[in-house]
Amino acid sequence: MKSRIILDEDEIPKQWYNIQADMPNLPKPPINPATMKPVGPDDLKPIFADELIRQEMSTKKYIDIPDEVREILTQYRPSPLYRAKRLEEKLKTTAKIYFKYEGLSPPGSHKANTAIAQVYYNAKQGIERIATETGAGQWGSSLAYATQIFGLECMVYMVRGSYDQKPYRKIMMETWGAQCYPSPTDMTDAGRAVLKKNPDTAGSLGIAISEAVEDAAKHENTNYALGSVLNHVCLHQTVIGQETQKQLEIAEEKADVVIACAGGGSNFAGIAFPFIRDQISGKDRDTEIVAVEPSACPTLTKGLYAYDFGDVAGLTPIMMMYTLGHAFIPPAIHSGGLRYHGMAPLVSKLHADGYINAVSYHQNEVFESAVMFAGCEGIIPAPESAHAIKAAVDKALECRKTGEEKTIVFNLSGHGHFDLSSYQAFLSGKLQDYEYPADLIRESLADLPKVEV
Ligand SMILES: *Cc1c(COP(=O)(O)O)cnc(C)c1O
């Protein structure tokens, strides 16, 4: 039995897998809020590179990964698939637990996979500066890392709550040459409007997105980049699942359960879409696919499947997705990357059509699993990734009861080295669980845009 399954450099997938080619039903189209008509390529041109727009709308099943992108990916890919043997023993489970580890990229998470691709296409088109938002700081640092490689400037609006919790993420971005400000700032109309109403706000991803989109629209030769949610981002992450399938084959295993945490849905899409491809084609119908989210921001488990904005100010296209309402500001939980009101339209549609199960957990139980995992396997997981661990642990304990010998595979989307203050809060018993904020969500869901298509 192998405990670490590694692939050669030349086994990085040569193509991304585009699930839009296989879905029985595609999501309803995104809507331009100015015209209330479906978004066309021209609507996106002011802020996205042409090739990324093509990928966003493509229904081609496989899209070639440029050689330059694959070459940069070799710095940390293919990523290892580990067997969590000591965790299995600790849980006394009859299940086997494997995890795909995306924490080996220089910024420490899966987000580098799409940052490299996005910056590559922008650089090729002559764009000189990219504006973005970041929650926990993982996306901002991934983009800073990638812009540095290609020689572009990088401007990051970081959600204030995380900015205060994680000062080292900002320094990491600055080390890679980026500028990073706590959002809301007074540098954009969107930021100023929020500050006027609520000067002490901890911010949200929805607000920071408004600021970055406005920045990109107003600055010469600046584009915007998003680290999750969009189709092309989910696409770029499918290297994760394709590699995982190859590694499981080497281990002579078949996944019974595939688990990932879901904030905007990209690392989940990355590992899950190739498995869902096999479900749709009938090759492998009975793999259970599980998305895990925080109870304080329960988009898939408690949200509405409806048209909504991706940001607070209503600048982004209106997307058909699971949402808690674009005005919803989630409680300041420590999984900053999971504090998003919406969900990738592709993940949302697949959930609506029954391909995905969703579960939610409170942060104390999540950190309990994270600490147990670190004790067994050594790796200190990002709090976001720890949601997937908690779900894997629960599945393994179920197997212990039933005696089933399931193979459980989860995505460990990143390490938690910049999240030690969250671990400190947990270890000293100061981590707070938030009840499902039903009233806030009801209020914000009353404010969805009205779309007739
Ligand atoms: C950003 C982030 C997430 C959540 O984003 P998704 O798009 O849902 O993947 C999860 N894990 C880590 C480590 C992250 O940085």
Domains 4-8+77-108+232-445 and 13-66+111-228 share a fold: yes
Q: Which of 73-82, 159-168, 362-371, 407-416 has the lowest mean pLDDT?
A: 159-168
Query: What percent of the chain has a predicted confidence (pLDDT) above 90?
Result: 87
Residue 318 has pLDDT above 80, yes or no: yes
pLDDT of amino acid 163: 92
pLDDT of amino acid 20: 98
385 lines ligand 1 (CB under 6 A): yes
Name the architecture of domain 4-8+77-108+232-445: 3-Layer(aba) Sandwich (3.40)
Domain 13-66+111-228: assigned CATH number: 3.40.50.1100
114 lines ligand 1 (CB under 6 A): no
For residue 385, give the ligand 1 atom closest to its CA: 11
Nearest CA to ligand 1 atom 10: 384
pLDDT tens for each residue of 9-28: 999 999 999 999 999 999 99
pLDDT of amino acid 319: 97
Handedness of CA 92, 96, 99, 79 (dihedral sign): positive
pLDDT of amino acid 312: 85
Q: How confident is the model at residue 2 (pLDDT cuts 50, 70, 90)?
A: confident
Q: How confident is the model at residue 295 (pLDDT cuts 50, 70, 90)?
A: very high
108 lines ligand 1 (CB under 6 A): no
pLDDT tens for each residue of 195-234: 999 999 989 888 999 999 999 999 999 999 999 999 999 9
8 Å CB contact between 127 and 222: yes
411 lines ligand 1 (CB under 6 A): no
183 lines ligand 1 (CB under 6 A): no
For residue 138, give the ligand 1 atom closest to its CA: 15
Average pLDDT over the chain reads: 95
134 lines ligand 1 (CB under 6 A): no
The rounded Å distance from CA 100 to ligand 1 centre is 14
The rounded Å distance from CA 121 to ligand 1 centre is 22
Torsion of CA 210, 211, 213, 215, to 10 degrees: 160
Residue 101 has pLDDT above 90, yes or no: yes
For residue 228, give the ligand 1 atom closest to its CA: 7
Domain boundaries in the chain? 4-8+77-108+232-445, 13-66+111-228
pLDDT of amino acid 329: 85
Nearest CA to ligand 1 atom 14: 337
Distance, in Å, from the CA atom of 85 to the CA atom of 66, rounded to the nearest integer, reads 37
The rounded Å distance from CA 186 to ligand 1 centre is 27
The rounded Å distance from CA 61 to ligand 1 centre is 24
Nearest CA to ligand 1 atom 1: 337
Distance, in Å, from the CA atom of 174 to the CA atom of 177, rounded to the nearest integer, reads 5
Residue 114 has pLDDT above 80, yes or no: yes
Distance, in Å, from the CA atom of 97 to the CA atom of 45, rounded to the nearest integer, reads 44
8 Å CB contact between 259 and 411: yes
User: Helices 167-175 and 138-150: crossing angle, nearest 10°?
Assistant: 10
pTM: 0.97
413 lines ligand 1 (CB under 6 A): yes
The rounded Å distance from CA 125 to ligand 1 centre is 27
pLDDT tens for each residue of 335-351: 878 988 999 999 999 99
416 lines ligand 1 (CB under 6 A): no
CB neighbour list of residue 338: distance below 8 Å, 6 or more residues apart: 261, 262, 263, 293, 294, 297, 384, 387
109 lines ligand 1 (CB under 6 A): yes
8 Å CB contact between 65 and 374: no
272 lines ligand 1 (CB under 6 A): no
Which residues are paired to 322 by β-bridges?
Answer: 305
Q: What is the mean pLDDT of residues 165-183?
A: 95
CB neighbour list of residue 197: distance below 8 Å, 6 or more residues apart: none
Which one of 79, 102, 109 would you pick to mutate in the ligand 1 pocket, going by the greatest count of ligand atoms within 8 A of its CB?
A: 109
For residue 265, give the ligand 1 atom closest to its CA: 8
Distance, in Å, from the CA atom of 278 to the CA atom of 275, rounded to the nearest integer, reads 5
Distance, in Å, from the CA atom of 283 to the CA atom of 231, rounded to the nearest integer, reads 24
The CA-atom distances, in angstroms, between 13 and each of 16, 57, 63, 234, 251 are 7, 21, 11, 15, 18
The rounded Å distance from CA 212 to ligand 1 centre is 19
pLDDT of amino acid 333: 80
Q: What is the mean pLDDT of residues 293-299?
A: 95
Distance, in Å, from the CA atom of 424 to the CA atom of 428, rounded to the nearest integer, reads 6
The rounded Å distance from CA 162 to ligand 1 centre is 14
pLDDT of amino acid 453: 67
Residue 1 has pLDDT above 80, yes or no: no
